[in-house]
């Protein structure tokens, strides 16, 4: 069986190319050595579960690790202390029974089973607490408890009481045996469990996990991490790829989100490489990576499913994302703002230089597609140019000159008399609504976050690996226009292009709509004014 990229994002030795997370594991081990209790709360598919598996293997020389998961735990198990305690003991037994580590005898494991299955005696939390102390006292090594998928328990008050039990034992750990460390893993931070509690229970929330240490280990992948993984791949496959360049490109699109990194690599290796157009060349090029990005965006996945679900659940988060993407809105980041906090927790937003920004380019592209699709459905007229979209494809390539010319006609026909404030606010959205059906299915676009504000935007269109840069701006006089031209020239240098496009929305009554091509600093600028 050949090696494959692991789409969970971390490591499965022998079977998958993997990012080396050894330094991260050492950081976590230091917390455990200090006896800290903490939560690994990261967004969906961020490698939490596989990190715990790798961590368990790493700790086995010094600790006895009990690793359990609340995934699939039924509501009935949270109905009272007895049911919860016995289910918890069953999970402990299963972990101990199938674990090859020494430190807990078979007899002790069977004692867990016996107490879990005893129908004639009750197991309230105080008895569970006593048994945990006995278990930790009997063990030959310090015990570390890992609980994955704690979100499954987040809507239940009883779970908060269980956290209170662990907290009480933690505070008495110098007198009574207990776990060396407890690690909870899930999307929701324990401090944010009140977001999942029913309204009538919120008043009972009293931060039972305030003993927890801050978990500041960066679980995202750097460009260097990706480069290390691709270097291992290159040693086996000898493709001749530019390892550094491809690593930076993947990072530029993902910002190191583990699932997205692994998924792009997997698609490039397994799907793009099989396409007829790549039969005579390697897929590990800019064109191949862009093809993989397109595949990722076109096919549903649980990560995108969750994003759309949460936008409906949290309207304020939805508003923030929409305003950032389409209105160039800037929000100062404030961790205690509920919507921003939720966005960061789910991995959709992040803080950058004190501002609230979308977490990565892939998420931006997905959100643009989602919002534009919603807008198209609600519109009372078509948001696409008259005629067949094939008219824009010449010899297999996108004719961007014609795209811009037809937008001039399209806008003039439909929005010539539109209110100025409407166009100032909606101009870029109108162009993207026009552009989307032309490139949909074959090409992609994204907006350069550094230039996205209320007055101008730089859009990068990728069509079969060939890129075009379009600057969209509002007319504010000749000087501002010259600044826009220079901005576009700078981006053309960045993308190694000699031609770019400038789309200006003008409300100057003396300004005539039209097109022209100008030559500045060795670059050709195709300018459209509407």
Token reading at 122: 């009750």
Q: Sign of the CA dihedral 417, 422, 423, 429? A: negative
Domain boundary among 281, 296, 311: 296
Contact 174, 31 (CB under 8 A): no
Looking at the domain assignment, is residue 357 inside a domain? yes
- In a domain? residue 65: yes
Q: Write the CB contacts of 249 (distance below 8 Å, at least 6 apart in sequence).
A: 286, 289
The answer as to whether 14 is a domain residue is no
**In this structure, are 136 and 268 located in the same domain?**
no
Angle at 432 between CA 430 and CA 435, to 5 degrees: 115
The CA-atom distances, in angstroms, between 18 and each of 224, 291, 328, 400, 507 are 13, 22, 37, 39, 54
Which tens digits make up the pLDDT trace of 61-89?
Answer: 899 999 999 998 888 999 999 999 999 99
Do 168 and 271 lie in a common domain? no
- Res 465: pLDDT: 80
Tokens linked to 466: 């060939």
Domain boundaries, position 322? 302-361
445-to-15, 39, 64, 317 alpha-carbon distances in Å:
34, 37, 50, 23
d(CA 144, CA 181): 5
Specify whether 449 is located in the same domain as 478. yes
Regarding whether 310 and 286 lie in a shared domain, the answer is no
392 CB neighbour count, 10 Å cutoff:
20
Instruction: Give the model's pLDDT for residue 328.
Output: 84
* Predicted pLDDT at 368: 94
What's the whole-model pTM score? 0.88
Strands 466-474 and 456-463: antiparallel
Q: Which of 453, 462, 459, 407 is nearest to 289 (CA)?
A: 462
Q: Cβ of 33: how many Cβ atoms within 10 Å?
A: 14
**CB-based contacts of 298: which residues, under 8 Å, 6+ apart?**
441
Nearest Cα residue to 288 out of 246, 333, 319: 246
Tell me how far CA of residue 510 lies from CA of 73, 514, 527, in angstroms: 69, 13, 17
- Among 172, 204, 236, residue at a domain's last position: 204
Provide the CATH number for the domain around residue 135.
Answer: 3.40.50.300
The structural domain count of the chain equals 4
**Do the domain assignments include residue 2?**
no
Phi then psi dihedrals of residue 404, to 5 deg: -70, -40
Q: Note whether residue 213 is domain-resident.
A: no
pLDDT at 154: 72
Strand order in the sheet with 456-463: 443-447, 456-463, 466-474, 499-505, 523-529, 514-520
DSSP one-letter string for 446-468: EE-GGG-SSSEEEEEEEETTEEE
Q: Write down the pLDDT at residue 9.
A: 47
Task: Determine the pLDDT at residue 14.
Answer: 37
Q: What is the DSSP letter of 277?
A: G
Are 392 and 474 contained in the same domain?
yes
Query: Residue 253's closest CA among 268, 267, 264, 239?
Result: 264
d(CA 344, CA 43): 8
Residue 45 lies in a domain: yes
What is the per-residue pLDDT for 384? 57
Regions of the chain with pLDDT less than 70: 1-16, 99-105, 191-207, 379-389, 417-420, 424, 451-456, 511
| Same domain flag for 41 and 82 | yes
240 Rama class: left (phi>0) / alpha (psi -120 to 50) / beta: left
| Distance separating alpha carbons of residues 483 and 414, to the nearest angstrom | 29
DSSP SS3 for 41:
strand
What end-to-end distance do the CA atoms of the chain give, in Å?
58
Q: Where are the alpha helices (DSSP H) in 300-418?
A: 302-313, 315-327, 338-345, 361-378, 400-415
Q: How high does pLDDT run on average in the chain?
A: 87
In a domain, 406, yes or no: yes
Do both 325 and 227 map to the same domain? no
Based on the fold, state whether residues 355 and 410 are members of the same structural domain: no
Whether 267 and 163 share a structural domain? no
Q: Do residue 430 and residue 475 come from a single domain?
A: yes
Residue 381 lies in a domain: no
**What are the tokens at 236?**
């086996």
The C-alpha angle with vertex 399 and arms to 395 and 402, in degrees rounded to 5, equals 135
Among 441, 432, 497, 442, which residue's Cα sits nearest to residue 469?
497
- Cβ–Cβ < 8 Å for 265, 296: no
Note whether 26 and 167 are same-domain residues.
Answer: yes
Q: Do 398 and 465 form a contact (C-beta atoms < 8 A)? A: no
Helix (H) or strand (E) holding 51: helix 48-59
Instruction: Give the pairing type, strands 16-17 and 4-5.
Output: parallel
CA torsion 51-54-55-58 (nearest 10°) is -160
* Statement to judge: residues 462 and 430 lie in one domain: yes
354 Cβ contact partners less than 8 Å away, ≥ 6 residues apart: 332, 333
């Amino acid at each position: 069986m050949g090696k494959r990229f692991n789409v969970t994002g971390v490591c499965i030795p022998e079977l998958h190319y993997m990012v080396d997370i050894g330094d991260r594991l050492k950081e976590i081990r230091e917390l455990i050595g200090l006896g800290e209790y903490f939560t690994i709360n990261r967004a969906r598919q961020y490698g939490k579960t596989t990190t715990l598996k790798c961590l368990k293997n790493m700790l086995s020389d010094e600790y006895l690790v009990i690793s359990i998961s609340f995934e699939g735990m039924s509501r009935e198990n949270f109905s009272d202390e007895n049911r919860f305690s016995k289910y918890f003991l069953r999970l402990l037994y299963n972990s101990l029974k199938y674990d090859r580590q020494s430190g807990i005898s078979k007899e002790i494991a069977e004692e867990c089973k016996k107490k879990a299955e005893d129908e004639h005696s009750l197991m309230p939390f105080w008895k569970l607490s006593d048994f945990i102390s006995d278990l930790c006292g009997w063990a030959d090594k310090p015990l570390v408890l890992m609980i994955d998928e704690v979100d499954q328990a987040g809507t239940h008050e009883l779970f908060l009481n269980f956290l209170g039990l662990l907290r009480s034992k933690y505070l008495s750990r110098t007198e009574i045996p207990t776990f060396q460390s407890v690690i909870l893993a899930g999307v929701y931070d324990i401090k944010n469990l009140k977001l999942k509690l029913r309204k009538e229970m919120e008043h009972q929330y009293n931060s039972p996990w305030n003993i927890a240490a801050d978990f500041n280990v960066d679980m995202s992948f750097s460009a260097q991490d990706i480069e290390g993984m691709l270097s291992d791949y290159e040693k086996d496959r000898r493709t001749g790829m530019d390892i550094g360049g491809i690593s930076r490109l993947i990072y530029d699109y993902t910002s190191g989100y583990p699932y997205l990194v692994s998924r792009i690599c997997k698609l490039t290796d397994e799907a793009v490489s099989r396409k007829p157009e790549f039969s005579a060349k390697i897929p590990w090029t800019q064109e191949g990576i862009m093809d993989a990005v397109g595949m990722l965006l076109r096919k549903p996945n649980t990560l995108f499913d969750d994003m759309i679900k949460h936008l409906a659940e949290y309207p304020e988060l939805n508003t923030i994302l929409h305003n950032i993407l389409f209105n160039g809105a800037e929000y100062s980041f404030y961790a205690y703002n509920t919507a921003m906090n939720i966005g960061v927790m789910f991995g959709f937003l992040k803080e950058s230089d004190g501002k609230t920004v979308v977490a990565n380019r892939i998420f931006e592209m997905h959100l643009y597609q989602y919002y534009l699709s919603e807008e198209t459905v609600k519109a009372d007229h078509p948001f696409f140019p008259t005629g067949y979209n094939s008219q824009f494809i010449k010899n297999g390539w996108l004719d961007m000159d014609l795209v811009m010319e037809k937008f001039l006609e399209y806008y003039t026909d439909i929005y010539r008399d539109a209110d100025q404030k409407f166009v100032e606010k909606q101009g870029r959205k109108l162009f993207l609504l026009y552009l989307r059906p032309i490139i949909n299915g074959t090409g992609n676009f994204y907006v350069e976050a550094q230039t996205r504000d209320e007055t101008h935007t730089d859009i990068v269109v990728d069509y079969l690996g060939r890129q075009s840069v379009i600057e969209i701006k509002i007319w504010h006089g000749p000087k501002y226009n010259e600044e826009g031209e220079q901005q576009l020239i700078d981006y053309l240098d960045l993308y190694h292009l000699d031609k770019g496009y400038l789309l200006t929305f003008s409300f100057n009554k003396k300004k005539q709509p039209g097109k022209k091509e100008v030559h500045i600093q060795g670059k050709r600028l195709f300018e459209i004014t509407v």
